[in-house]
Chains A and B, each alone.
Chain A
Amino acid sequence: MTAPTLVDFAEVVERFDPVLGLEVHVELSTNSKMFCGCPTEFGAEPNTQVCPICLGLPGSLPVVNRVAVESAMRIGLALNCTIAPWGRFARKNYFYPDMPKNFQTSQYDEPIAVNGWLDVPLDSPDEITGATTVRVEIERAHMEEDTGKSLHVGGATGRIHGAEYSLLDYNRAGVPLIEIVTKMIPGTRERAPEVARAYVTALRDLLRALGVSDVRMDQGSLRCDVNLSLSPRGSGVLGTRSETKNVNSLRSVERAVRYEMSRQAGVLLAGEKVVQETRHFEEATSTTRAGRRKETAEDYRYFPEPDLVPIAPSAEWVEELRATLPELPWARRARIKAEWDLSDAELRDLVNAGALDLIADTVAAGASPAEARSWWVSYLTQEANVRGVELVGLPITPEQVARVAALVASGQLTNKLARQVVDGVLAGEGAPDEVVERRGLKVVSDDGALVAAVDEALAAQPDIAEKIRGGKVAAAGAIVGAVMKATKGQADAKRVRELVIERCS
């Protein structure tokens, strides 16, 4: 295969209009699978989360997971879609070893949600129009089941061709998926890569706020296919599109669009035709390569799934779910920015660090914004870095952080002790109050004991005591330090200082 001729991005934009389309698959974080009671946890031993139903054993029948349907409806509602009052599942028939029944139970011409939109926030306003958002029209959101996973062993590429044998893990088979498909997104011009990334980012944030999925692109719980075609600038004539799969990060979404624009322009400017095909994104090189080309179009022989009854959500059910929709993440951000008086840069840092929601939840649990921010962006961010995990992956909850902050505010813990309590929570020693109890970290608030310690320190450093008595209050710090040392930090420094001054007056 010869290397494709790539056209400089500026030239692509000058000569062509890119038309985007994005298909996102979201694995729902339901406790059980789409059609059976098996758990859905990521990373379990292969083939331990399976049963006759998700293995498609002869005689087994599916039963729809109600929570998955509700999640699908909430996603549809959050994307401003119409919820179909009646719809059936369909069978998508094709043979592949990772699919136990050799058909996928999906939705075809009767998706649960249709015709919506998402106003996607842009990083910077459009230079010409000044718009800060771009409206992406949603064609549909539908439910389906995930397939198992194949592991191809032997061969150089980890692909099926050239492999010696393949192993199959059906743990993922039957995990509920929602596929969200946009309508064609025209008119994005040189911002096409950015818009694609912004859309997937916005969708991810929205799904996270809905609490329906882990939305981890690295674990495959959010997967994106990028469809792209080029149309000669200003012609309005649609070109042939490519469909790029395996785009597993936000950055890759942007890069896949950029690469496909340059590649397709190269093909078109050479007087050739773009081939309608599935391509795979190569993370390492940020390029796409052609998948196996099919001689004929795949015919999935869809027909209504006879083993399931139609889903007919009542208007009441829809409204009930609509009432559970959360504040849009970007609206929430704007609100928080105003409430906490953050600069754009501060807000962006918090968002990028994955700290905003954690801080907001900590504030909601009673901490002040300043305290909450201080915990998450300094001490806990360091801990996360040391452990190599995302902030949200730390074994401490916003409620627990708020409790620690409350103990500090009420004088029961010093900042230093508070860090020890947090360490204890992170080490799995229990909730903050349990850690305080077990480690004996209570502030020494018994004035009698403190007075004795203060007197002792004053006696040990008579010259400093003299200075304080002479009105040099600043000198008190040395005595406070000595007392704190003597009480192993379990004293409230502020109270110690008060006592030092009291004893010297």
Chain B
Amino acid sequence: MELTRLSAAALAEKIHSREVSAVEAAQAHLDRIAAVDGTVHAFLHVAGEAALESASLVDAALDAGTPPASPLAGVPLALKDVFTTSDMPTTCGSKILEGWRPPYDATVTARLRAAGITILGKTNMDEFAMGSSTEYSAYGPTRNPWDTTRIPGGSGGGSAAALAAFEAPLAIGTDTGGSIRQPAAMTGTVGVKPTYGGVSRYGLVACASSLDQGGPCARTVLDAALLHEIIGGYDPLDSTSIDAPVPSVVEAVRAGASGDLSGVRVGVVRELGGEGYQPGVERAYRAAVERLEKLGAEVVEVSCPHFEYGLAAYYLILPSEVSSNLARFDAMRYGLRVEGGASAEEVMALTREAGFGPEVKRRIILGTYALSSGYYDAYYGQAQKVRTLIARDFAAAFEQADVLVSPTAPTTAFPMGDKVDDPLAMYLNDLATIPTNLAGIAAMSVPCGLAEEDGLPAGLQIMAPALGEAQMYRVGAAYEAARDADDDTPLIQRVPSLEVSR
């Protein structure tokens, strides 16, 4: 099999056994990027030289008999352009940071480097992670490898598309309201939003601080788990990071792959499904639940009555934090600077007018309004109460079930341009993923087949209590193994071959 079509675990095995060099692995992926990224546009920056150099260091160490720095040493990865990198630009998909080179590495970046993972480059995203289609990138949209007239999801469409286009076997995303999971569902890949505080946010350029969480993206559950253990864990530079060991997710995946889920209680969330959900997505999801039951899981229905207020609360809390977090982009110290203003204030205003796109401006305005005195209690204050109620809904549901499930997104990938002028329709695509961010718990999306109407992938969302990742990965791995055992070709290998472009 071509190197680019291997799982990260399989590729790592070949590299560590010296069957393949890390440089060969990196080069194969760089070649693939050169061939298809003109079409897909998953990357904003490809760091070919740095990638080959990093891979050659891994080779040198392995040749010298040093044990691999991590189980994924030498494996290439695509990094969402929202993590700072001292040797590559960091733009967050925004013109306001065009060409900015941070003087420091994010903790996630540093952990990847320490693990010997080859960073191929930085992936496209909706500007400052605001969007569900990657169409709000200031550098042009990313296309879905399953159908290049369609969106790959967002905001992490670049990372997900890179996986589905076989440009990288691993990627890093960030999930504020579904930005890892929804693109995973749209591209037939695996995406994990860890428990809030499970992966350091230091060097992750903030969208909404209380919701943002970095996490692993891959084509298999095992690969995601391997990456999760590398990037996860306490970081003294992030006060909100959890000072506890990373859940043993790799072990859980290996246990889950045996396919026995007896004794596991799976809760079907009544409020996530039905009206507004594409029939083919709904059917794929129902089939997945049946499969879990066949594996021995006890399926129960749970109710989370406050989820219906989740979207509204989210679109008050997120913009409020955004309005404050993005205030620093003022042309005074770094990034874009539009000259011609007579005062510092004017330079700030002109720069922000020119540097931010429409969705970012929309959310800054919403957030500024929601935090204004006189409105704070009615908007931000009420939204925080909803947040508490949603956390209570989850707590009650987890009394009845070990994990909860739902469709990851209500639809499959929609055509480009479909929702870009209809913010509300765009926001609704995150209906099922948002509650977990509000509650700070863990969730993942695993592909659960193709929708009948359009032949595009649908995602199964598995949710677990805070730090309950092991159980979540176990269920995900068991499901994945059973799904692949029933199919002739693993789902991800059914991506149409992309027209090779130059």
Q: Which residues from chain A sit less than 8 Å from chain B, CB to CB?
A: 52, 55-64, 91, 93, 95, 97, 100-103, 166, 168, 299, 301-303, 306-309
Contact = CB atoms under 8 A, between A and B. Distances in A.
Contact of B104 (A52, A63, A64, A103): A52
Interface string B446-459: 00000000000000
A60 B333 CA distance: 15
CB-based closest 8 A-B pairs? A102-B327, A301-B371, A306-B209, A306-B210, A59-B203, A58-B205, A59-B84, A59-B205
Contacts of B117: none
B348 interface: yes
A58 B372 contact: no
A57 B103 contact: yes
B372 A301 contact: yes
B238 interface: yes
A309 B380 CA distance: 19
Given A57-B104, A58-B206, 10 more contacts: A57-B84, A60-B104, A60-B202, A95-B327, A102-B328, A166-B344, A301-B324, A303-B371, A303-B380, A307-B206
A61 B237 contact: yes
B459 to A, nearest CB: 28
B372 A299 contact: yes
17 contacts: A57-B102, A58-B102, A58-B205, A59-B204, A59-B206, A60-B202, A63-B236, A91-B324, A93-B371, A95-B348, A97-B332, A102-B330, A166-B344, A301-B323, A301-B371, A306-B321, A309-B239
B373 interface: yes
Contacts of A59: 83-84, 90, 102, 104, 106, 202-206
B92 interface: yes
B438 interface: no
A24 to B, nearest CB: 26
Contacts of A62: 239
B39 interface: no
A4 B400 CA distance: 74
Given A58-B102, A103-B324, A166-B344, A308 B330 contact: no
Interface string B99-112: 01011101000000
Contact of A95 (B206, B210, B345, B372): B345
B7 interface: no
Contacts of A101: 327-328
A193 to B, nearest CB: 34
Contacts of B97: 58
B82 to A, nearest CB: 8
Given A97-B344, A168-B332, A301-B373, A58 B90 contact: yes
Interface residues of B, number: 44
B368 interface: yes
Nearest to A63: B239
Contacts of A95: 327, 330, 345, 348
B334 interface: yes
A307 B240 contact: yes
Contacts of A100: 328, 333
Contacts of B103: 52, 57
A387 to B, nearest CB: 40
A301 B84 CA distance: 28
Contacts of B100: 58
Contacts of A302: 371, 376
A101 B209 CA distance: 14
A302 B370 CA distance: 11
A440 B373 CA distance: 73
Contacts of B323: 93, 301
A64 B239 contact: yes
Contacts of B84: 57-59
A235 to B, nearest CB: 31
B320 interface: yes
Nearest to B374: A299
B201 interface: yes
B17 to A, nearest CB: 37
A94 to B, nearest CB: 9
A303 B376 contact: yes
B322 to A, nearest CB: 11
A308 B328 contact: no
Contacts of B202: 59-61
A61 B108 CA distance: 14
A301 B368 CA distance: 7
A120 B346 CA distance: 47
A97 B330 contact: yes
Contacts of B333: 55-57, 100
Contacts of B344: 97, 166
Interface in B197-226: 201-206, 208-210
Interface centre among B103, B205, B210, B239 (most CB of A within 10 A): B239
Contacts of A58: 84, 90, 92, 97, 100, 102, 205-206, 328-329
Interface centre among A60, A102, A301 (most CB of B within 10 A): A301
A61 B321 contact: no
Interface string B228-254: 000000001111100000000000000
B176 to A, nearest CB: 12
B83 A307 contact: no
A343 B330 CA distance: 61
A88 to B, nearest CB: 12
Contacts of A299: 372-373
Contacts of B237: 61, 63
Interface string B363-389: 000001001110010001000000000
A97 B239 CA distance: 26
A361 B18 CA distance: 71
Contacts of A93: 323-324, 327, 371
Nearest to A168: B332
Interface in B316-356: 320-321, 323-324, 327-330, 332-334, 344-345, 348
Contacts of A306: 208-210, 240, 321
A103 B206 CA distance: 14
B110 to A, nearest CB: 12
Nearest to A300: B373
Nearest to A52: B104
A327 B151 CA distance: 70
B332 A307 contact: no
A20 B74 CA distance: 69
Contact of B328 (A56, A63, A301): A56
Interface centre among A61, A91, A95 (most CB of B within 10 A): A61
A58 B202 CA distance: 10
Contacts of B372: 299, 301
A449 to B, nearest CB: 65
A57 B330 contact: no
A217 B237 CA distance: 34
Contacts of B328: 56, 58, 100-102
B373 to A, nearest CB: 5
A490 B351 CA distance: 75
A216 B333 CA distance: 30
B316 to A, nearest CB: 11
A166 B343 CA distance: 10
A306 B211 CA distance: 9
A270 B38 CA distance: 77
A303 B201 contact: no
Contacts of B238: 61, 63
Contacts of A308: 239-240
Contacts of A307: 206, 209, 239-240
Contacts of B90: 58-59
A62 B241 CA distance: 12
Nearest to B320: A303
Contact of A309 (B240, B330, B332): B240
Contacts of B201: 61
A8 B372 CA distance: 43
B128 to A, nearest CB: 10
Contacts of B210: 306
Nearest to B204: A59
Contacts of B209: 306-307
